[in-house]
Structure 1
Amino acid sequence: MPRPLILVTLAVSLVLLASTTVNAHNITRILAKHPQFSTFNHYLTLTHLAAEINRRQTITVLALDNSAMSSLISKQLSVYTIRNVLSLHILVDYFGSKKLHQITNGTELTATMFQATGSASGASGYVNITDLKGGKVAFGAAEDNDGKFDAVYVKSLEEIPYNISILQISQPLNSPEAEAPTAAPTLNVTAIMSKQGCKAFSDLLIASGAHTTFEENVDGGLTVFCPTDPVVNGFMPKYKNLTAPQKVSLLLYHGIPVYQSLQMLKTSNGIMNTLATDGAKKYDFTVQNDGEEVTLETKVTTAKVTGTVKDEEPLVVYKINKVLLPRELFKAVPEKKAPAPKGEKEVADGPDAESPSDDSDDQTADDNNGVGEMDGGRLALVALSLFFGVGMFV
Structure 2
Amino acid sequence: MNRSIVPLLCSFLLLSAFSASAFNVTKILSQYPDYSNFNDLLSKTGLASDINSRSTITLLAIPNGAIGDLTSKSDDVVKRILSTHVVLDYYDPMKLKSMKDKTAKLTTMFQQSGKASNDQGFLNVTAKDNTFVFGSAVKGAQLNSRLEKSVMNQPYNISILGISQPIVTPGLDGTLAPVSAPPPKANAPSSPKSSPPAESPDDEAESPDDEAESPAPSEEDTKAPAPSKDADSPSADSPPADAQSPSSSSAGKLKISFGLFVVMASMVAAY
Aligned partners of 1:145 and 1:77: how far apart in 2?
Answer: 24
Residue 143 of structure 2 aligns to a residue in which SS? coil
Aligned counterpart in structure 2 of residue 111 of structure 1, from 100, 107, 116: 107
Residue aligning to 2:118? 122
1:56 maps onto 2:54 in alignment: yes
Report whether the alignment pairs 1:90 with 2:91: no
CA distance in 2 between partners of 1:113 and 1:89 (Å): 8
What 5-or-longer segments of structure 2 have no aligned partner?
A: 1-7, 176-271
The alignment yields a C-alpha RMSD, in angstroms, of 2.8
Q: Bigger radius of gyration, 1 or 2?
A: 2
Match in the other structure for 1:282 = none
Task: Give the counterpart letter for 1:115 in structure 2.
Answer: Q
Given that residues 150 and 174 in structure 1 are in contact (C-alpha distance below 8 angstroms), is that contact kept between their aligned partners in structure 2? no
In the superposition, the TM-score normalised over structure 1's length comes to: 0.39
Give the SS at the match of 2:106.
strand
Contact 1:127–1:140 (8 Å) recurs in 2: yes
Question: What is the aligned counterpart of 1:150 among 121, 140, 144?
Answer: 144
Q: 1:209-236 CA distances to partner (integer Å, 9 max, x unpaired)?
A: xxxxxxxxxxxxxxxxxxxxxxxxxxxx
Identical-residue share of aligned pairs (%): 40
- 1:151-170 pair list within 5 angstroms: 151-170=145-164
Q: Could you tell me which amino acid in structure 1 is paired with residue 118 of structure 2?
A: G
**Hey, what's the Cα distance between the residues in 2 that align with 1:178 and 1:91?**
17
Looking at structure 2, the residues matched to 93 and 144 of structure 1 have their Cα atoms a distance apart, in angstroms, of 23
**What is the aligned length?**
167
Q: Which residue of 1 aligns with 2:32?
A: 34
Q: Any idea what SS the aligned residue of 1:127 has?
A: strand
Alignment of 1:126-275 (within 5 A): 126-133=122-129, 135-145=130-140, 148-180=142-174
Contact 1:60 1:95 in 2 (8 A): yes
How far apart, in 2, do the equivalents of 1:105 and 1:180 lie?
Answer: 35
Q: Secondary structure at the match of 2:123?
A: strand
Letter in 1 for 2:78: I
Shift of residue 59 of structure 1? Answer: 0.4
Deviation readout 1:158-213 (Å, 9 max, x if unpaired): 111111101100000011222127xxxxxxxxxxxxxxxxxxxxxxxxxxxxxxxx
Secondary structure of 1:156's partner? Answer: strand
Instruction: Check the 8 A contact 1:120/1:177 in 2, yes or no.
Output: no
Query: 1 or 2 for the larger relative contact order (CA 8 Å, sep ≥6)?
Result: 1
SS of 1:150 mapped into structure 2: strand
Aligned-partner residue type, residue 61 of structure 2? A
Alignment of 1:373-392 (within 5 A): none
* Structure 1 runs not aligned, ≥5 long: 1-9, 182-394
Deviation of 1:122 after TM superposition, in Å, equals 1.8
Superposed CA offset, 1:69-90 (max 9, x none): 13433xx421100110001100
1:103, 1:131 within 8 Å by CA — same for their partners in 2? no
Counterpart pick for 1:78 among 35, 56, 74? 74
Shift of 1:115: 1.0
Query: Secondary structure of the equivalent of 2:98?
Result: coil
In 1: Cα distance, 2:170 partner to 2:152 partner:
30
Alignment-derived partner of residue 246 in structure 1: none
Instruction: Work out the CA distance in 2 between the residues paired with 1:112 and 1:91.
Output: 4
1:311-336 CA deviation, whole Å, 9 max, x = no partner?
Answer: xxxxxxxxxxxxxxxxxxxxxxxxxx
